[in-house]
Structure 1
């Protein structure tokens, strides 16, 4: 298994976890955090800590995803061999473009 494949699997796993964490949150104060604390009360281990955990995990997973993408790009560049174009190869035989190789065009006025 290549290094790029390992990074690809890790990127898919982190992206899935990031989707799950974002879907659990509710932008209007509901979601998972409201079911533990009961709305307006700020308890220890309740709404405040749950929303802080979800917020920190979102940022951590997003940062990890960005780092994995950048590292996978570095591995792709390092795995690529140094190949030059055949147009730049001085030993390649040039192809001559002669008119004798081109078949005549039929006339359309018949």
Structure 2
């Protein structure tokens, strides 16, 4: 399995988990904590929102780190000939010197 495939799988898994965690949250503050119940639950309402908030930031950080690592690992895969924009002129064959054109008298 190539590094491209490994990073692609890891980034896909982290994106899926990030989508799930974000979709569980309610934009008005209810989300998963409002469906669990009141404060008599073992975790409580505040603990659930703290967990979702921390997991969102953690997954986002992991996603950014994976993207940066994948871009750094792909820069070394180009060979020297693919990365050159301008050809090296030292490898060209030497050109014969040009002789100046002599003035030829015009004929009438």
TM (normalized to structure 2)? 0.73
Match of 2:10, SS state, is helix
CA drift of 1:92 comes to 6.1
Per-residue deviation, residues 54-110 of structure 1 (Å, max 9, x unmatched)? 01100000000000000000111011222224x5243469xxxxxxxxxxxxxxxxx
Q: Which residue pairs with 1:26 in the alignment? A: 26
Q: Which residue pairs with 2:10 in the alignment? A: 10
Q: Which residue pairs with 2:87 in the alignment? A: 88
Q: Aligned-pair RMSD on alpha carbons?
A: 1.9
TM (normalized to structure 1)? 0.72
Q: Verify the 8 A CA contact 1:21 1:54 in the aligned structure 2.
A: yes
Given the alignment, which residue of 33, 41, 49 partners 2:47? 49
Unaligned runs of 5+ in 1: 94-110
CA–CA separation in structure 2 for the residues paired with 1:6 and 1:29: 36
